Homo-oligomer: A and B are copies of this chain.
Amino acid sequence: MIKRLVRSAALLTPILLLTTSVIAQEQQFADLGDFRLASGEVIKECRIGYRTFGKLNQDKSNVVLFPTWASGTSEQLKSNIGRGRLVDDTRYFVVAVDALSNGVSSSPSNSRRQPRMSFPKITMADVVNTQHELLTKILHLNHLYAVLGVSMGGMQTFQWMVSYPDFMDRAVPIAGSPRLAPYDLLQWQTQLDAILHDADWNQGNYTVNPARAAEAEFGALLLTTPDHFNQESSREKVFAEIERGKADSHFDANDKIRQVQAMMSLDVSAPFKGSLEEAAARVKARTFVIVSTKDHVVTPGPALEFARLMKARLLVLEGDCGHLAPSCEAGKVNPAVAAFLSD
């Protein structure tokens, strides 16, 4: 990796420590310079967005890394951070990090030198590697107490566990996957095709619109379950809701494509000739795997298999909320995570 650090590490550390109370929770950026990807391609002037919550303790032993879900930002993680929430920032120093291509960190939509589809393809390992560099080179944190993430954040958590097994004590992948099941690959490909076949896209309007329908419609179709959807919606309001969803979606189609490709590329077993068993054997973190049996976005099979191989602690959510079960069943999930982290 090219590690051209724009900020001086020696300069940054005291600034960070002195100003934590001021800049905590605010959007910050780490400039990683030109960042070499596993493919050999380079993200030019790579920038990683993050926010910190809580206080770093004296021996830097209370850091929890909290990466974003797909199409999500560190700002959206805020509501999951706090006492009684998913991560307690009165106990932990939480680094909420914007995954590559989320429109905040370097992304097709914001890259001056590699705009739109000239932005290179990234893998989940690349996403994690940028975060490792953020932590070690910019924040001077050489160890994490835990990595914890939901959905694509759970995928990053699995990747972290295998890419940097000595780097954390604990890991909590929630509604995540160590490699996508066939159904998941199919549903993402269908979303990609919806964008790539879109007339707006093909006319060079490479912006928001083609992603809106995919986000709104596939979100509604797959995020929960048909049973849950039919209970919450009605014949009268379903289309108004979808139109509102489209209007509310501002996620760039280019950014979505690169994140979807990163998820589809995810396979923690790849360095081990496809053996999930060998990948699991590499993990040193104590792990708490949380899945939802009716999850239609990240189907739970691969995470369950990995949990079994690792003999990890496991929480299986059975409700109708599907992929959204971790928030629908927050009353069950949040205390279980808190107990695991303080155990």
Instruction: List residues of chain A with CB under 8 Å of any chain B CB.
Output: 179-183, 185-187, 189-190, 193-194, 197-203, 210, 213, 217-218, 220-221, 226-227, 229-230, 233-235, 237-239, 242, 296, 299, 301
Question: Quick one: given A198-B198, A200-B197, A226-B296, are A185 and B238 in contact (CB under 8 Å)?
Answer: yes
The answer to whether B189 and A217 have CB atoms under 8 Å apart is yes
The answer to whether A221 and B187 have CB atoms under 8 Å apart is yes
Q: Which of A203, A227, A242, A301 has the most CB of B within 10 A?
A: A227
A180 / chain B contacts, CB cutoff of 8 Å: 235
In the bound complex, how far is the Cα of B190 from the Cα of A239, in angstroms?
11
- 5 residue pairs, one from A and one from B, having the closest CB atoms: A199-B202, A182-B233, A182-B238, A190-B217, A183-B226
Q: Which of B182, B190, B239, B296 contacts A235 (CB 8 A)?
A: B182
A210 / chain B contacts, CB cutoff of 8 Å: 197
The answer to whether B229 and A182 have CB atoms under 8 Å apart is yes
User: Taking the nearest CB of chain B, how far is it from the CB of A61, in angstroms?
Assistant: 38
Return 14 A-B CB contacts under 8 Å, by A number. A180-B235, A181-B235, A183-B221, A183-B230, A185-B239, A186-B229, A189-B217, A190-B213, A190-B217, A193-B217, A197-B198, A197-B199, A199-B201, A226-B296
In the bound complex, how far is the Cα of B206 from the Cα of A198, in angstroms?
15
Looking across the interface, which residue of chain B has its beta carbon closest to that of A202? B199
The answer to whether B185 and A235 have CB atoms under 8 Å apart is yes
Question: Quick one: given A221-B186, A235-B179, are A213 and B197 in contact (CB under 8 Å)?
Answer: yes
In the bound complex, how far is the Cα of B203 from the Cα of A180, in angstroms?
35
A183 / chain B contacts, CB cutoff of 8 Å: 221, 226, 229-230, 233
User: Taking the nearest CB of chain B, how far is it from the CB of A180, in angstroms?
Assistant: 7
In the bound complex, how far is the Cα of B188 from the Cα of A221, in angstroms?
10
A230 / chain B contacts, CB cutoff of 8 Å: 181-183, 299, 301
A179 / chain B contacts, CB cutoff of 8 Å: 235
A201 / chain B contacts, CB cutoff of 8 Å: 199
In the bound complex, how far is the Cα of B242 from the Cα of A190, in angstroms?
10
User: Taking the nearest CB of chain B, how far is it from the CB of A184, in angstroms?
Assistant: 8
A301 / chain B contacts, CB cutoff of 8 Å: 230
A186 / chain B contacts, CB cutoff of 8 Å: 217, 220-221, 229, 233, 238, 242
In the bound complex, how far is the Cα of B239 from the Cα of A180, in angstroms?
13
